[in-house]
Structure 1
Amino acid sequence: MLIGRPFHGWRVAWAGFWVLFIVYGIQFSYGTFEGAISADKGWSATWLQLAYASYILAYSVVSAWTGQLTDRFGPRKVIATGAALLAAGYLVLSAAGSLAMVFIGLAVIAPLGMSSSWVPANATVVRWFSARRGLATGIVGSGGSAGGIVAPPIAAWLVGEFGWRTAIAVMAVVGGVLMAVTAMVFVRDPESIGQYPDGRSPDVADRPMTRSRFVSRPAGFVVETTRSSAPDAENPLTAWTAPQAWRSSVFWRIFGMFALTFVVVFVPFAHGVQYARSLGFSPLWAAGVISSVGVGGLVGRIVTGPLSDRIDRRRAVMLALAVETLSFVGIAVSEGLVLLYASAIAFGLSYGGSVAVFPALVADYFGRTHAGAIVGRFFATAGSFAAVGPYVAQLLLDATGGYGWTFSFAAVANACALGLAFTLPRPGLLPRRTTAPPTG
């Protein structure tokens, strides 16, 4: 390690915080923009929600490639390019004179930029940490929640003062520039600059450690003990590639768990303001629902990430899913602001906690060498389900005239995800191998 050089990993983690602050701050402001766009142009909310759903689907799918590009070219180039594309997409949206332009800007160009944020940032951070991986990913993820707190009120003010076109353009340009500048802080991994995960010195990193690993058996996984020469030690025999992970049943169990929770995860963000308005609250109080989710998400990421470093990370996910299930029940039966805000905060706590732990959980099972490609595949598959939720919620609203069925369905989906989480083995190092990984 370079003597006297501060550990760069924490700078990478905080750079990830600011990248997610920017991109999710803009994304979570869409609910504010949508009402103004619909009122000004006369376009139906259903079409605008379809554009938003297409945006989520597109950036989720493309994340499979941006994860691989991050592994190949490094996060700096990927995130900087994404900054330009994200700004360009929202600038096209701000100038939209037809629904076709809305879809081009929001569902075609902007997703290319958005896909260059969450996966590259988290995949890079898990390479920098092992023992404190949960804390680091919690810092990165909290940026998205902080953006959800700060950005929607700013967007609402900009729309009120200058109109929706100027508001979107200002946020696009400022966000794009700041994201590009922040990208310069990213470095692929500690080894590339002579450092070690968690900032350990060479003598500590080389000291043998006792770690748990899982061995495949016909009846499932059993815990054994192995010697590791370094924290999160990997070599060509132990580092999982994305295709190898894809063939593991553990991958598909995690996929099912997150697909079930992701399918409804953006419903509160896309419909929270409209739901509160339907209960009779003013636009200002309604916007507070999104900010409440942001406050809860910020706390959830800060708490759950480091907590997962101390306990079984799988159990941290279970706790988050249980709270998320209850939060949707609370939203569904809300009639006043107290329960609605409390449920929104609880949703933020659970959603923020599970998302913060997710990349660390994946790295625990499959290692950090190919983290970009593996996390990208998860995000592209399970994350794509998130695109369905907001649009289906709009269709249910049109059919039933209320949000009761939507939030009840969300509670059931999270309960099923919780049940699936119980089937996961305890995280640990997977066995050494010479060809393909175990499939049990």
Structure 2
Amino acid sequence: MGPRLFYGWIVVAAAFAVCFVGFGCAYTFSAFVPALQHDFQASRGSVSIVFSLAGFLYFSLGVVSGPLADRWGAQRLAMLGMLLVGAGLALAGVAHSLATVYAAYGLGVGLGIGCAYVPALGAVQRWFVKRRGFASGLAVSGIGVGTLVMPPLATALIDALGWRTAYVALGCGAAVVGIGMARFIANDPADRGTLPDGASMAAGTMAGDGGGMPLRDAVRSRQFALLYAACLVCSFGVFVPFVHLVPYALDHGIGRKDAAYLLGAIGVGSTLGRFFLGGLADRIGRQAFLLAMFGGMAAALAIWAAATGFLALAAFALLFGLFYGGWVAIMPPVVTDLFGSRQVGSIIGVLYTSVAVGTLVGPTAAGYLFDASRSYTVPILASAAFNVVAAGIAALAGRQARPG
């Protein structure tokens, strides 16, 4: 008789914690924007570069950390990543110039999440086949819960301790919790005498799908090119709310605590999207589900363009979070469905370089457009349009995926 608890769920819990710590801390950045602008006498565009640099690094580094995890295992890379996140936050708290914040936060948080995120998600994919969408959704729901919990916590810390000490406190907590949980990540179910989904090794190959394309063949395929293009276009707009929603709310007369709760509302929606929609995708088809997520984010961003009051912005945040969470949850299973689990970490890592470019460009461009026009209307509507285009590319990708 097998163990009472399939270890794959422990791996999911560890990946959840890594996502919670890494992205939860990263998405507190919007709460720090006003203090950084004030203390360093900086424009909103130049402050936005801090987050964009970190985002560019943590998505682009997957092209390195994914292959390293395939070769050396995900646990060590995830532990290193959590250490870097903690150090980056703490060093940002003692920075005395915006350039130093770029280096500390951008490099520390960016490299840290980059080391941990793709390896942790790649490990989860290997432990499941039948419930891969659900398991992946649970793992990345850590991002949603982190987005719910961490920005209000950061705001409270800033009010009580000041922004510098708040960053140091967040950094210490990130290192302790993140490293402790990353220790439970295991790369391959075979190392623990089981097959994916908990099937016994004695049952032969009844549950495995360890084959698949090598990285070289996958990235040269038309299917990968379409998926890459969709993620690239989408990500120009997806991360704009994580930097600019709080400043937008403050500009419309909403208090700082309520503005921070709006980020938390994205976290609530994101958690629901990752937790519930991942399992739904297993039933309705993951390719069709991906198309729906792009369309849903476009609709939500269009609502943001017209929202000014707290309730309207909260509705936007919940809806956007729901579809954003579903998008993040479904990407690793879609990649594994298309290309197999043989080098899934490497393939996901290359795919996420598309998101890295969008993250670098989108929030920064939105900040500078605001500085020039004193309005967010153009960047918000552009963000919605990018997701419409991404939905069209995803529809083409879905047709390409069908046999015959």
In the alignment, structure 1 residue 11 sits paired with structure 2 residue 39: no
Name the amino acid aligned to 2:209.
Answer: A
The structure 1 residue matched to 2:262, chosen from 286, 289, 296, is 289
- Distance across 1 between alignment mates of 2:4 and 2:145: 30
The equivalent residue for 1:372 is 345
The equivalent residue for 1:57 is 56
Name the amino acid aligned to 1:403.
Answer: Y
The equivalent residue for 1:111 is 110
Deviation readout 1:326-355 (Å, 9 max, x if unpaired): 101100011222222111111000000011
Distance 1:152 1:234, change over 3 A: closer
- Distance across 1 between alignment mates of 2:42 and 2:374: 19
- Distance across 1 between alignment mates of 2:95 and 2:28: 17
User: Higher helix proportion, which one?
Assistant: 2
| Matched-pair contact (CA < 8 Å) for 1:256–1:382 | no
The structure 2 residue matched to 1:343, chosen from 316, 341, 353, is 316
- Distance across 1 between alignment mates of 2:185 and 2:402: 27
The equivalent residue for 1:44 is 43
- Determine what percentage of the aligned residue pairs are the same residue: 32
The equivalent residue for 1:99 is 98
| Matched-pair contact (CA < 8 Å) for 2:20–2:143 | yes
Deviation at 1:243?
1.5
Moved more, 150-159 or 86-95: 86-95
The structure 2 residue matched to 1:233, chosen from 209, 219, 226, is 209
| Matched-pair contact (CA < 8 Å) for 1:313–1:361 | yes
The equivalent residue for 1:408 is 381
Deviation at 1:3?
4.2
Deviation at 1:126?
0.4
The equivalent residue for 1:155 is 154
| Matched-pair contact (CA < 8 Å) for 1:21–1:147 | yes
Deviation readout 1:5-33 (Å, 9 max, x if unpaired): 63100110111111111111111111112
Deviation at 1:38?
2.2
Deviation at 1:117?
2.4
Structure 1: unaligned runs, 5 residues or longer: 207-228, 431-439
| Matched-pair contact (CA < 8 Å) for 2:45–2:366 | no
Map 1:308-387 → 2, pairs under 5 A: 308-387=281-360
Moved more, 127-136 or 91-100: 91-100
Map 1:270-285 → 2, pairs under 5 A: 270-285=243-258
Map 1:250-265 → 2, pairs under 5 A: 250-265=223-238
Deviation at 1:309?
1.1
Map 1:127-142 → 2, pairs under 5 A: 127-142=126-141
The equivalent residue for 2:119 is 120
The equivalent residue for 1:72 is 71
The structure 1 residue matched to 2:221, chosen from 248, 254, 260, is 248
- Distance across 1 between alignment mates of 2:16 and 2:358: 24
Q: SS of 1:131's equivalent?
A: coil
Deviation at 1:4?
3.6
Counting matched residue pairs gives 404
Name the amino acid aligned to 1:360.
Answer: P
| Matched-pair contact (CA < 8 Å) for 1:328–1:411 | yes
| CA RMSD across the alignment | 1.9
| Matched-pair contact (CA < 8 Å) for 2:57–2:356 | no
Deviation at 1:37?
2.3
- Distance across 1 between alignment mates of 2:85 and 2:157: 19
- Distance across 2 between alignment mates of 1:43 and 1:400: 17
| Matched-pair contact (CA < 8 Å) for 2:193–2:200 | no
TM-score, structure 2 as length reference: 0.96
TM-score, structure 1 as length reference: 0.88
| Matched-pair contact (CA < 8 Å) for 2:80–2:116 | no
In the alignment, structure 1 residue 29 sits paired with structure 2 residue 5: no
Q: SS of 1:191's equivalent?
A: helix
Return the index of the structure with the highest Cα Rg. 1
The equivalent residue for 1:306 is 279
Deviation at 1:201?
3.1
Name the amino acid aligned to 1:9.
Answer: G
- Distance across 2 between alignment mates of 1:39 and 1:77: 39
Deviation readout 1:154-200 (Å, 9 max, x if unpaired): 10011111111110001001111111111110111111111111112
- Distance across 1 between alignment mates of 2:2 and 2:313: 53
Deviation at 1:429?
11
Deviation at 1:422?
1.0
- Distance across 2 between alignment mates of 1:330 and 1:29: 23
Distance 1:263 1:115, change over 3 A: same
- Distance across 1 between alignment mates of 2:343 and 2:282: 21
The equivalent residue for 1:188 is 187
- Distance across 1 between alignment mates of 2:32 and 2:287: 37
Shift >4 Å, 4+ stretches: 426-430
Distance 1:401 1:44, change over 3 A: closer
Deviation at 1:401?
1.2
